[in-house]
C-alpha cells in the first residue's frame, strides 16, 4: 500500500512537468516551417512557377516554405531527371511538374488527389476539359497549372487585302497559303510566306502533322492505347499527308527543314509569314510593337476541323500538372501548394505577369486577360467546343516520337509516297507497342 501511495505521489509530482514539456514540444512542432521541395524545368513556365512560389512563401510565411529546383533547362532534361528519381524510389521532391504526355508513364509513382480534392472542396469544373488529361486509371493525379494548345495564327490585314475567309478544311487552308505567299519585289522569291511549319525533329515534325490530322478525327493509336489506329490505313490519312507535304513542294513555307518555335515567332515578328498553326501562349510575343511588325494585325481562330475519322475532332495540346510524389510524407502541405498555384488569383497573376497559359475557364472570359492576350477567345472556344489530346500518351512515347518523325522526314524528302508512309507509321507503331 505504501508503494502504491509512493507511485501515485510520483505521478502527481512529475505529470504536470511531463505535460508542460510535451506541450512545449508540440508548440515547437507547430511553430516549425514545413519545407516543400518542388522540381520543374527552367524552360517554358519556369518563371511563372518561380513567381507563384514567391507568392506562396509570402502567404504562408512561418508555416510552409517551397524550395524550387529548376536545374533542368527544358522538359527533356526534366523527363530524364524524374525517370531517374522514380527508378531510385526517391523522396527528394514532394511536388513535381508533370507534362500531360508523361501521365501514363508516371501515373503509378504519384499520389491520386481525388480524396484531397473532395476534402478541400476544389471545384474540378473550373478547369473545363483541360482536366481530362490529368487522369491515370480513372483517378486525378495532378492539377493543371499551365495550358497551351495549337490554334490558327493569321495576319488579318493580309486576309483583308486578299479577300480571304477563314479556312474550314485542310484544302482551304492550303489554298489560302498559296494566295498569301507573295513575291513583293519581283525578284522571283517569296517575301511573305503563306504558311510556316516547324520541322525540327523529333517533336516538331510529328506535332506539325497532327495539327492537320487530329482535328479531323485522326489518331496514331486506338482508343485503348494498345495498338496502331486502323484509320492510318484509310485513304484520308494519305490525303492529309499530301496536304502537309504540298507546303514544302510548292514553296509556301520558309526554312523547310530546320524551323523551331523561336524561328516561327521571329518570322511572324519580321512580317515574313501570314499564317501558321502555333502554340497559343506565343501570341503575346507577337503583340509587342517594340519587337513585332505584326503587332495589332494578328488574329486567332480555332484550327479547321470536322468529324471525318473514327475519333472526335481534337486539337494537339495539353497541360502541365502539379503532382505529389507517392513517397512524399508532406501530402497536406504539398496539396496546399498545388491548390494555391491553381487558384484564380494566382493563375491570373501568372498569366498577366509571367505570360503563363492559364488553366481556369474564368480567366479566358476575363476582359483584362482578353485584352492582354488576343488569342484568349480562340483558346476558350477550342477548350469548350473541341478538346485536346497528346500525340502518344503512352510510356513508349520517346521511341514512338523518334521513329514517326524519321518516317515523316523521309516522306517530306520524297523517299516514299503518302500511302506507303501511312502504312509504315501504322506498322511501326504496332511493332513498338507489341514489344
Domains, in order of start, for the chain: 33-148+319-383 (3.40.190.10), 149-315+389-434 (3.40.190.10)
* Res. 260 pLDDT band, cuts 50 70 90: confident
Residue-wise pLDDT tens digits, 91-148? 999 999 999 989 988 999 999 999 999 999 999 999 999 999 999 999 999 999 999 8
Longest dimension (CA), the chain: 116
C-alpha to C-alpha distances, 257 to 125, 201, 202, 263, 427, nearest whole angstrom: 41, 9, 12, 12, 25
Among 80-89, 278-287, 320-329, the minimum mean pLDDT is found in: 278-287
Beta bridge partners of 38: 68, 95
Q: How confident is the model at residue 29 (pLDDT cuts 50, 70, 90)?
A: low
Mean pLDDT of the chain: 90
For the chain, the first-to-last Cα distance in angstroms comes to 78
Our measurement of the distance from residue 303's CA atom to the centroid of its chain's CA atoms, rounded to an integer in Å, reads 17
Could you read off the pLDDT of 383-392 as tens digits, one per residue?
A: 888 888 889 9
Q: Which residues contact 394 (CB under 8 A, 6 or more apart)?
A: 104, 105, 221, 225, 400, 433
Average pLDDT value for residue range 195-216: 89
How many CB atoms lie under 10 A from the CB of residue 386? 18
Residue 184 has pLDDT above 80, yes or no: yes
pLDDT of residue 22: 36
Question: What would the mean pLDDT of 230-256 be, rounded to a whole number?
Answer: 95
Of 122, 149, 120, the C-alpha closest to 133 is: 149
- Looking at the predicted structure, is the pLDDT value of residue 16 above 50? no
Give the pTM: 0.82
Amino acid at each position: 500500500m505504501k508503494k502504491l501511495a509512493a507511485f501515485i505521489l510520483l505521478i502527481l509530482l512529475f505529470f504536470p512537468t511531463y505535460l508542460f514539456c510535451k506541450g512545449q514540444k508540440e508548440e515547437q512542432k507547430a511553430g516549425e516551417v514545413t519545407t516543400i521541395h518542388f522540381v520543374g524545368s527552367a524552360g517554358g513556365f519556369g518563371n511563372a512557377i518561380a513567381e507563384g512560389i514567391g507568392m506562396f512563401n509570402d502567404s504562408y510565411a512561418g508555416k510552409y516554405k517551397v524550395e524550387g529546383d529548376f536545374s533542368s533547362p527544358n522538359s527533356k532534361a526534366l523527363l530524364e531527371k524524374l525517370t531517374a528519381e522514380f527508378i531510385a524510389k526517391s523522396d527528394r521532391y514532394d511536388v513535381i511538374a508533370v507534362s500531360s504526355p508523361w501521365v501514363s508513364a508516371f501515373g503509378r509513382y504519384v499520389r491520386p488527389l481525388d480524396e484531397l480534392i473532395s476534402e478541400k472542396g476544389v471545384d474540378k469544373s473550373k478547369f473545363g476539359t483541360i482536366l481530362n488529361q490529368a487522369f491515370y486509371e480513372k483517378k486525378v493525379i495532378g492539377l493543371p497549372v499551365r495550358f497551351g494548345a495549337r490554334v490558327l495564327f493569321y495576319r488579318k490585314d493580309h486576309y483583308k487585302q486578299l479577300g480571304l475567309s477563314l479556312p474550314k478544311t485542310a484544302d482551304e487552308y492550303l489554298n489560302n497559303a498559296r494566295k498569301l505567299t507573295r513575291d513583293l519585289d519581283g525578284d522571283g522569291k517569296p517575301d511573305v510566306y503563306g504558311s510556316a511549319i516547324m520541322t525540327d525533329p523529333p517533336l516538331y515534325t510529328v506535332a506539325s502533322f497532327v495539327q492537320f490530322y487530329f482535328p479531323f478525327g485522326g489518331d496514331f493509336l486506338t482508343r485503348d492505347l494498345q495498338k496502331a489506329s486502323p484509320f492510318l490505313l484509310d485513304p484520308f490519312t494519305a490525303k492529309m499527308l499530301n496536304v502537309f507535304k504540298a507546303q514544302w513542294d510548292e514553296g509556301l513555307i520558309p526554312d523547310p527543314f530546320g524551323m523551331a518555335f523561336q524561328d516561327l515567332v521571329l518570322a511572324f515578328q519580321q512580317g515574313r509569314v501570314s499564317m501558321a498553326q502555333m502554340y497559343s501562349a506565343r501570341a503575346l510575343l507577337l503583340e509587342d510593337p517594340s519587337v513585332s511588325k505584326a503587332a495589332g494585325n494578328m488574329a486567332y481562330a480555332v484550327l479547321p476541323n470536322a468529324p471525318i475519322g473514327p475519333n472526335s475532332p481534337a486539337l494537339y495540346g495539353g497541360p502541365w500538372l502539379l503532382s505529389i510524389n507517392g513517397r512524399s510524407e508532406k501530402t497536406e502541405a504539398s496539396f496546399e501548394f498545388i491548390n494555391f498555384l491553381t487558384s484564380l488569383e494566382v493563375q491570373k497573376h501568372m498569366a498577366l505577369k509571367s505570360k503563363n497559359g492559364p488553366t481556369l475557364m474564368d480567366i479566358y472570359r476575363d476582359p483584362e486577360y482578353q485584352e492582354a492576350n488576343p488569342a484568349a477567345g480562340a483558346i476558350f472556344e477550342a477548350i469548350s467546343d473541341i478538346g485536346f489530346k497528346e500525340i502518344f500518351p503512352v510510356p513508349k512515347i520517346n521511341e514512338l516520337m523518334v521513329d514517326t518523325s524519321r518516317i515523316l522526314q523521309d516522306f517530306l524528302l520524297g523517299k516514299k509516297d503518302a500511302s506507303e508512309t501511312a502504312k509504315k507509321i501504322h506498322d511501326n507503331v504496332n511493332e513498338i507497342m507489341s514489344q
